[in-house]
């Protein structure tokens, strides 16, 4: 009964693990045992220190993820008001002790899963979660199962010190979960899917299209790690960014079909002043690349305008202005002799629930206009919603 693990009751034998201090900007979080109430401390045992998003089918295979470092604060408060310190947990057992205390206090717990390299969009999710919840957990985990062997797992930005300082500054984060790959994927996680072993979660019918065409491994990795994180955190509410629209649909369906007692919100995309969707990968862009990086947002916005303002209903007429904008930028980059290329991966117009590609759109039919482009070697994604405000 794999789903029995989704019970809110932690195993009776689970002990609070004491981990070594985690170094963060301008302070060191001391071992949380010093801050625990005597009644809790008496039940703790020490452990060795650890190093620093349709139908569902389960298949055997392996998954993994990366998170760092340790320590914690009081088991009876969500943050330390005097210093702003946030407890950081790098073992599942120690986090579950904190989570049990939240349950004892009848706290509503919100959860924002991330891969780190936090930007204003992530922090906005945390702040919205805090407005709606008593306590907010942020996970930082670069999930290997989402990456193919040729993708940028090793290069994906990791910046825990900066992330920690940003979360402290929000005054909205109650705990940070920083799990290790070895705990998240005990069977190991080779990037070659044919070599993977262990349990995986797949949302059938929503994972093969759009992003799934060029990244067929991606949503199995997302669904698996999100299920694991939900199992650890036991959140009442979860918060995702709408920039990853297909991911939002996949996760919402997974929550529904697995009967998880979780309320999900998809928050509108945070953008730079010129419309570029905020992304951890934007830091890969050189100044010259950044100047043209808005092409995708301009393209899908033009396609939406064709529907909303010009009454276009046929796919070709809707996507024609989007292709024109992208083709123009591709040619400008070439003729200016810039040291990179711009390449379209795909443009998509799908139904908001089934993610079926649409040849025509009804007058009030909710849809997603989305796409992906390469600016140099950096792959950027974006989307806009049609006839709906929130996924």
Helix 295-308 and helix 315-335, axial crossing angle in degrees, nearest 10: 150
pLDDT at 63: 30
pLDDT at 84: 59
Q: What are residue 300's phi and psi, to 5 degrees?
A: -70, -25
Give yes or no: 323 in active site: no
pLDDT by 10-residue block (mean), the chain, 391 residues: 39 33 36 32 31 34 33 35 74 98 98 95 97 98 86 79 96 97 93 88 95 92 97 98 96 98 97 96 96 98 97 98 98 97 98 97 96 97 96 88
Give which of 26, 28, 135, 150 is closest to 75, Cα–Cα.
135
Tokens for 151, please give them: 């993708």
Residues in the chain: 391
The Cβ of residue 215 has, within 10 Å, a number of other Cβ atoms equal to 18
| Active-site hit among 32, 122, 217, 297 | 122
Question: β-pairing, 263-267 with 237-241?
Answer: parallel
Measured between alpha carbons, how far is residue 114 from residues 10, 83, 158, 320 in Å?
A: 23, 24, 11, 35
Helix (H), strand (E), coil (C) string for the chain: CHHHHHCCCCCCCCCCCCCCCEEECCEEECCHHHHCCHHHHCCCCCCCCCCCCCCEEEEECCCCCECCCCCCCCCCCCCCCCCCCCCEECCHHHHHHHHHHHHHCCCCEEEEEECCCCCHHHHHHHHHHHHHCCEEEEEECECHHHCCCCCCCCCCCCCHHHHHHHHHHHCCCCEEECCCHHHHCCCCCCCCHHHCCCEEEEECCCCCCCHHHHCCCHHHHHHHHHHHHHHHHCCCEEEEECCCHHHHHHHHHHHHHCCCCCEEEEECCCECCCCCECCHHHHHCCHHHHHHCCHHHHHHHHHHHHHHCCCCCEHHHHHHHHHHHHHHHHHHHHHCCCCCCEEEEEEEEEECCCCCECCECCCCCCEEEEEEEEECCEEEEEEEEECCCCC
Asked if residue 162 lies in contact with residue 137, where contact means CB atoms within 8 angstroms, the answer is no
């Amino acid at each position: 009964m794999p789903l029995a693990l989704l019970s809110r009751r932690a195993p009776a034998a689970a002990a609070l693990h004491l981990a070594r201090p985690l170094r963060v900007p301008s302070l060191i979080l001391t071992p949380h045992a010093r801050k625990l109430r005597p009644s809790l401390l008496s039940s703790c045992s020490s452990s060795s220190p650890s190093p620093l998003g349709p139908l569902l089918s389960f298949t055997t295979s392996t998954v993994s993820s990366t998170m760092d470092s340790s320590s914690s604060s009081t088991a009876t408060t969500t943050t330390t008001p005097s210093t702003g310190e946030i407890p950081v947990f790098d073992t599942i057992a120690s986090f579950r002790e904190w989570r049990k205390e939240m349950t004892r206090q009848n706290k509503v717990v919100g959860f924002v899963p991330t891969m780190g390299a936090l930007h204003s969009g992530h922090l906005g999710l945390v702040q919205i979660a805090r407005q709606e919840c008593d306590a907010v957990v942020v996970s930082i985990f670069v999930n290997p199962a989402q990456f193919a062997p040729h993708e940028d797992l090793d290069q994906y930005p990791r910046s825990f010190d900066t992330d920690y300082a940003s979360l402290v500054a929000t005054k909205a984060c109650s705990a940070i979960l920083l799990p290790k790959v070895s705990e998240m994927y005990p069977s190991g996680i080779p990037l070659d899917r044919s070599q993977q072993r262990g349990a995986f979660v797949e949302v059938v019918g929503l994972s093969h299209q759009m992003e799934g065409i060029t990244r067929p491994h991606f949503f199995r990795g997302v669904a698996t790690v999100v299920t694991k994180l939900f199992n650890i955190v036991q959140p009442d509410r979860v918060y995702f960014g709408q920039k990853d629209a297909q991911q939002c649909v996949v996760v919402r369906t997974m929550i529904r079909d697995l009967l998880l007692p979780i309320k999900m919100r998809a928050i509108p995309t945070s953008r730079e002043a010129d419309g570029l969707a905020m992304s951890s990968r934007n830091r890969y862009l050189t100044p010259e690349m950044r100047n043209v990086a808005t092409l995708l947002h301009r393209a899908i916005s033009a396609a939406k305008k064709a529907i909303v303002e010009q009454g276009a209903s046929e796919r070709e007429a809707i996507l024609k202005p989007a292709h024109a904008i992208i083709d123009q930028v591709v040619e400008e980059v070439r003729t200016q002799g810039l040291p990179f290329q711009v390449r379209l991966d795909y443009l998509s117009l799908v139904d908001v629930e089934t993610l079926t590609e649409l040849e025509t759109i009804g007058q009030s039919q909710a849809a997603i206009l989305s796409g992906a482009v390469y600016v140099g070697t950096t792959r950027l994604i974006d989307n806009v919603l049609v006839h709906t405000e929130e996924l």
